[in-house]
Structures are given as C-alpha cells and as structure tokens.
Structure 1
Amino acid sequence: MKIKDRKKAYLLLADGMYLEGFSIGSEGTSGGEICFNTGMTGYQEIYTDPSYFGQIVITTNSHIGNYGSLDLEQESEHPQVNGIVINEFSEIHSRDKAESTLDDYLLKHGVVGIAGVDTRKLVKHVRTSGAQNAIITSQIDGKDELLKKLNEVPSMDHLELASKVTTESVYELGEGNQYKVAVLDIGVKKSILSNMVSRDCHLKVFPAKTAIDVLKDWNPDGYFISNGPGDPSAMDYAIDTVKQIINEGKPTFGICLGHQVIALANGISTFKMHHGHRGLNHPVKNIITGLSEVTSQNHGFAVDSESLEKSDNVELTHINLNDNTVAGIRMKDKPVFSVQHHPEASPGPHDSRYLFDDFIELIKKHKS
C-alpha cells in the first residue's frame, strides 16, 4: 500500500503530547508504555524481543523497513511489542534474502504502528518527561475518546509480565552436549540460547513458574536466569526460586531481568528508571578487569546501587559509564554472577560475549 493511500494514525502520550502520522502494519488501537531504542539496525530483533512485551517502541533510526524481514532473525516466535513508532517508513526492501516487507510482516502478526512522526522531537520529549503510557490508533479520531482508552492501559510499575511470555512447556536444545544448563525462562531470547548451545551446553528450558524440585530433578551443572519484561519486584515466585537455586551452590548466570531477580533474591532492591536504557552503544566498565565494553541494553528497571553497597555478600563487577548505574554483580561466596546488559547482542556489539565463556569456566571448575 502506498503512503498516500494509508489511513491517518494518532499517537497520544499520558502527559498530553498528541502526534499525527499514518498507519503501518495492522489498523487498530493499541496501548503500552512508550520507550525508545537508539540502535541503527536490528528492528526485527527488537520487535521480537520478549523484554519489550507490553511496550510501544520508538526506533530512532530515521529509515525503518529498508531490509525487510526474515524469520531467522526473530528472537521469539512472533513480535512482542504492543506498537511501533517510526519516522520514515520504507515501502520496499533491498535485501535479496528477505522473505517479506516489514509492512506485510507487521500485518501478518497484527502489530499496530504509526509512521511519519518526528521521532527526534518525540524521543527528546520522552527523555525529558520520562517513561509513560501511550496509545496508537488508526480507528479513533477524537482525542478525548482516545484518552479514555489510554487510561485503561496498566502501569508498568509493579506489573508482572514474565509469565505471559515464558514457554508453555519444557523443551531441550543441544542434546548430547557436555554441560547441562537449566534455563529459567522469564522471557528468554533465542540468541542467548544459541550462544550457550554453541559453547557445548545441553539446555533444558523451563517455564517461569517451575518449582525448584523440578529443576533440581534434572541435575543440571548450572542454572541460567533469562531476560524478560515487567517489574522484577512483582515476581515473588521467581525470586523465591532463585533463592533456592543460589542455595544449591551451583554456577548461576543471569542477564537483564534475571540479573535483577538475582539481586532481589539477595535482598538488594530494584527501581524503575526515568526512561531506561535501550540501544546498541552503551558503555560499560568491567571493574574487575579494568576494561570497557560497548554493550547492547534493553531495560526500564535497574538494581539500586545504594542497596548493593549495603550487601555483605554481593559486589559490583560492572558499571554503566553513562550514568553509573549497576551493570553487573557477583556473589562472594557462591558461583553466581549477572549483568544488566545483553552479551548476546542481536542486534549489537559482541564485546561482552566473553561472559558466556566465563559461565562455562565456572561450570568446568565446579564439575572438577
């Protein structure tokens, strides 16, 4: 469909900002917390990352859709976002191996989007005003009626979402590989799993609310606590499970939401950030090695640094160089560590992939 033939679409933020554009993907109305990702590439990986469940994502790169879509680049089976906001939408794509246009992909999966929006202006507004709910529509013309719909959208604060994106049944990957790793799926990305399989891991992926006894019955060599969406402090079930995993004393690695849950399991608090970190060029310093890394990040909550400083048993390992927020921790008396950023990237730089190797080394050491 040509741009001139598309329906008008509208975006309303909770603080009253109201923008007009045109509809892309599926026509309809959809709300969620609005956030932005500053990555120049990887829009399909962003849209299918379970960590974005319940959110409307602004992509700050001005051209979106120019390389189409490809199922191999999905981080889950389908898009997880509640909506997308872009500046210039590409009707065509130039990549030979693409399976469809982005528009057809969004339409197939029922994703509501708006294009033709001044995303630079919008992102500057969100950075100043902070994360908030928003709604996209190609159905409702009146601002007052749209505001009524927006008021029905739940706040991300204290919202538990991991149970909505987790696997419904147990499955295995890398069968026959050497190291058995039990994965607690609270919103895991496919590329995280593939990074561990490529490192000789036999993975058994369990639903978020799996009881500790079920995890232990498999007798894994180590545990992995995945990324995912929502407020970690609303996940009592996962916090309790991770406490018991830690007590078992086996190597344990957490990423993003998993990092936050490990902190909470150690009595360290988390907080909702002003507008979060989402992009491919966030600088992080490993304070153990003294080296800095360019990282991929996607989170709206973080571990509280003052609470961490009061802990006798957990120490800081990585720090975000943009704002000094906690980017990594480890336990002093257990083989447990975690990071806020995404070492698998997808999309993004590979500076932090050594963390998967560190996890394997912990497992080797524990087994020996």
Structure 2
Amino acid sequence: MNLNYTAEQEAFRAEVRQFLHDNLPEDIRLRTEKRLRPDKATTQRWQKILSDKGWGASNWPKEYGGTGWDAIEQLIFEEECAAAGAPRQLDFGLRMVAPVIMSFATEEQKQRFLPGILTGEDWWCQGYSEPGAGSDLASLRTSAKRDGDKYIVNGQKTWTTLGQHADWIFCLVRTSTEGKPQQGISFLLIDMKTPGVTVRPIIMLDGEHEVNEVYFDNVEVPVENLIGEENRGWTYAKFLLGHERTGLANVGQWKAMMTRLKQVARETKDGQQPLIENTRFRDRLAQLDIELKALELTVLRVLTDEKGPGPQASILKVRGTEIGQNMFELLMEAMGTDAIAHIPDALELDYEGARVGSEHATPATGDYLNMRKLSIFGGSNEIQRNIIAQMVLGL
C-alpha cells in the first residue's frame, strides 16, 4: 500500500478545507469545540449545508445523490471535518439504514426514503437491542404479525440512541417462531409518529439523555415498509452492522482529539511543568498515537477492499472503540480540575451561569463516563473477538 497521498488527493484536501473554512457556521463549530450537547436543529442545518454542496453523503454512489468518492477521499473528508470542528453526521441514516435500502429495497422505497436521509430532513434511529437481547440479538422478541396489508407490532427496544429526536426507526422484528431464531426476523421501517409508539428516556452516567426505551403497543405498520423479504432480516442486519462497525473506528474524530490532547498536555498550569514532560504520561500518549496510526491504515485496507466491509470490520470496531476510550481517559487526566463532571445547563451554547474550573473547562469527566459504552454498542467487543477468531482467523 502506498502510504503517501497523491497530488490530486492533496488538492482535494485543500478544497475540502477551504469549503469548511467558508461554510461551517461559527456557532456550530463552537458547539463541537466545547463538546456541548448534540442538537437536532444544528445537526440538520449542517447536513443541509453539505447536501446543498453535493457532499451530503460521502459514502453514497452518485446515482443516489452521493459524492461517489473513493475510500481515500471519504477518509480525507472526515478528517478535515473533524479537524475543523464540524459535527458528526448522523450515521443511523447515512451509513446504516441507507446502504440497506440501496442494496435490498424496492425502487419505490429508495425514492421514498433516501432523499430525506440525504438532506437531513428525516432523522433515523436504530431498533435492534431489547431487554435480554443485546449481544444475543437473535433472541429478540418484538413481534410483527401480518394482518392484511399491515403488520401489528408489539414489543420493546432499548438503548435507542437519540430516539427522542427520530422521525423513523429501522427495526428488527420477529415475524416467525419456526426454525432457528435468526430465520424468523424481518427488517421493518416504522414511522415514530405512529399511534402506539412511546419513547422513554434513559439518563446515563454523565447525566445526559442520549438513549431511550421505545415501546410498541399494537403499532400498525404498512407491509410496504418491509425491506426485502419477510424472515430475511438477519441477513440485512449483518450487512448493516458491517457498515456500522467500520464507522465505529472513528479515525477522523480520534485524530482531531489526539491533536487536542497534545495541546492540553503541553499547557503549563499553575506554574507546574507541562504534563508532556512527564515520562510516564508521554509514553502512554506516544503508544496511543502509534495505535491510532495503525488503525488508520487498517481502515484504509478495509475500505479499499472491493468486497466491502466484511468480518474485518469487527477488528476496526474493537480497536477504534478501545483507542477512543483510552483517549478520553488520558484527556480527563490531562485536564485535571478542568475536567468538570457535568453541569447540564452548561452544555448549551447560550449558558451564562456559574461555571466550574477555568475558562478552558470542558465536560471531560462526563465524556469519559459516557464513552464506557463504546466497547458495548454495535456488538460488544467480546462478540467481535469471537467473529474475528471464527471468520478472519478461521479458528
């Protein structure tokens, strides 16, 4: 693999960097820089700006309104967005359900759902995990019973990230109890405004409302919202998880955070020597930097594979999430007393109340607590190691 960027790729990087300089609104950049609470209106506004430029979906083919960029261009774009302070685009629509729709949906379904994802008008969430069916997803019990031209859905999903904002949810539902558990699952798209859908918040360790429980009580869903074939949802779910796990490598975000971490480590606080001069901290930082570079190269190998994300995506998921957790831990240590745990109101841009710590204080401790989830969602890292052993190493 040639590890050097070509002149054309460097020119593309310069184009992206200039666009971000000219078009990323300052209030959006500040929200990202200060790690403030994710905001639906802000996320949708940024997605609309990208969509108007024709850059709304870096990983989509042109025929569906995407950029048609290759893997290197996508990586450059994500790196530059993270470095500039742009908010992360919503993966649930762009990188998770959209590839499933493109690959397995009818032409009518593509025309109905893809445009709203591209512009950011439609906010999607994921309905996979249930109480008692997380890593063992095949044991899910949410049922969808056919009744004429509709399904009647009953059950519960949990850990539904940002479900309180969602317009739509893509769900795995049980349509048959015959045969192996995986054989009776279907992939259904459900309008969150449908009567019988209830969203209840789950408050996390950092005090934030990020995840939810979603209940379905005799929810009527048109049969036309079924993706692909009935009872083939497990196949589509595995396809989707390959894309999700590749995205969880998060290389662009971690590179931007590494830059921030090095800046903090070089700062002098209260007359003390910079933390970067502490040998033990510097060694840990250097090790993390090396691991991040290795992850970046592995991502390039997976993304440039013509077959698309396969079981190798599990490697990216494990290493990306572990690197992220270690990075948040180091940042919390480096921030010291400025790593405030959490002041809910302070996570809004217009907050003018009392603060804890200096003017550089950020919710680094809250972030550290929040990111303990990284090694669990998207399929726990223990499950990913089993996949790697069986399907990559052939053990």
Same-fold status (TM-score > 0.5): no
- Structure with higher Rg: it is 2
TM-score (norm 1): 0.27
Q: Which one has the bigger strand percentage?
A: 1
